[in-house]
Amino acid sequence: MLPAYPEPRCHAHIALRGRAGLCARGDTKACETQEWLEENFSTLSDLITSERINLEETRYRCHECGNSFSWSSDLIAHQTIHTGEVPYTCSQCGKSFNQSSNLIRHRRIHTGETPYTCSECGKSFHLHSQLITHCRIHTGEKPYTCSECGKSFSRHSNLIAHQRIHTGEMPYTCSECGKSFSRSSNLITHQRIHTGEKPYTCSVCGKNFNDRTNLITHQRIHTAEKPYTCSECGKSFNQRSRLITHQKIHTGEMPYTCSECGKSFSRSSNFITHQRIHIGEKPYMCSCGKNFNQHSILITHQRIHTGERPYACSECGKSFSQSSDLIKHRRIHTGEKPYTCPKCGKNFNQRLSRHQKIHIRENYNKSLE
């Protein structure tokens, strides 16, 4: 039987004594029951074992929104959301935070400290939350599921961005042109069109890009990496979009049809380019005044002015302004002759049409005899 102890029972103090030494009711002085507790119980755990404590009485409640917290320090940190107070400032860049823990995490950007390391691959991170998200690459865990279509994601932010496909929400709008985006990262990349900023530089050739993914794709020109492989024929590609387009060869899918001539295409971009033949549109202009109906043709043309030759042969080092020229050149080294004349069976690495003119002349001469 527990001995009677003085009223009122200060359960809040009992639960929190040893953490702060103050009553959770908000009293600034030590609770009156403290001396009595010390005489009757050797430890706080003894008291908790003897009598269950109503933990709700130990909560610190925010008067603004009603949220409750176990510790006064958590309540104080929370209240800065309402007051707008950001007392912790980074001495490096001047950015301010409402909690000291957030400032500590932020400082790792400047110091380069990455204390959280993946046991699988050794990659390190600034934040513990980043490590948890990264580990899902190895485990395959995708805990965030779309209630509309059932698709799952490893990151909550990716789920939110995905759900905008269903809702049509585009909350990020460009102040320059009014174009809207479902992701803030897409808006940031888009704005570089207006600013001309290209912060991602290729270490091999020095070419700059406004998007990191474009840099990664570009670098595969130098490394010859083709990570996307067709399961049907084994052909590999340096871009996932090119693999998807290629796979339509096997399925025969041609969903884009020209209303003018009935020609169909597997890619919407090819369909749009084709339509310019009918309307005569040439929207891509070079500084020399020449116009083109495809952006890729403009880029190739501009290399006449710049002298750029980004496609280099790994065998002899010879460089070319067009990837198609490099492909043809490589056949000198490989001995490949993919073009066969149907008339005489002779093989060529290029210019089959030039050879076929010999047979046309022969047929013409025979007709004169």
Q: State the burial class of residue 227 (Cβ atoms within 10 Å of its Cβ: 0-12, 13-18, 19+).
A: exposed
Q: Are residues 81 and 2 in the same domain?
A: yes
User: In this structure, is residue 34 part of a structural domain?
Assistant: yes
Residues in the chain: 369
Domain membership of residue 170 as a residue range:
144-195
Q: What is the separation, in whole angstroms, between the first and last Cα of the chain?
A: 130
From 34, 51, 85, the end of a domain falls on 85
Q: Are residues 81 and 148 in the same domain?
A: no
User: In this structure, is residue 264 part of a structural domain?
Assistant: no
The sign of the dihedral angle between the CA atoms of 110, 113, 116, 121 is positive
Number of domains in the chain: 2
Write the pLDDT tens digit of every residue in 215-269. Answer: 999 999 899 899 999 998 999 998 888 898 888 888 888 888 999 999 998 888 8
Dist. CA 215–CA 143, nearest whole Å: 30
> How many C-beta neighbours within 10 Å does residue 136 have?
14
User: In this structure, is residue 93 part of a structural domain?
Assistant: no
CATH at residue 187 = 3.30.160.60
User: In this structure, is residue 353 part of a structural domain?
Assistant: no
Q: Are residues 156 and 80 in the same domain?
A: no
Q: Are 313 and 321 in contact (CB under 8 A)?
A: no
CA 54 to chain centre: 46
How is residue 9 annotated by DSSP? P
Write the pLDDT tens digit of every residue in 304-362. Answer: 999 999 999 999 999 998 888 898 888 889 888 888 888 888 888 777 778 888 888 77
User: In this structure, is residue 100 part of a structural domain?
Assistant: no
The position carrying tokens 């390391």 is 117
The yes-or-no verdict on residue 38 having pLDDT over 60 is: no
Range 75-98 average pLDDT: 86
The sign of the dihedral angle between the CA atoms of 89, 90, 93, 96 is negative
User: In this structure, is residue 312 part of a structural domain?
Assistant: no
Provide the pLDDT for residue 46: 54
Q: Are residues 78 and 154 in the same domain?
A: no
Q: Are 294 and 300 in contact (CB under 8 A)?
A: no
Query: Which pTM value belongs to this model?
Result: 0.42
User: In this structure, is residue 11 part of a structural domain?
Assistant: yes
User: In this structure, is residue 139 part of a structural domain?
Assistant: no
Q: How confident is the model at residue 195 (pLDDT cuts 50, 70, 90)?
A: very high
Provide the pLDDT for residue 21: 41
- Is residue 68 classed as helix, strand or coil in its secondary structure? strand
18-21 long-range contacts, CB within 8 A, separation 24+? 18/44, 19/71, 20/71, 20/72
Q: How confident is the model at residue 369 (pLDDT cuts 50, 70, 90)?
A: low
Provide the pLDDT for residue 197: 93
Mark 264-295 as b/e (b = at least 16 C-beta within 10 Å): ebbbeeebebbbeeeeeeeebeeeeeeebbbe
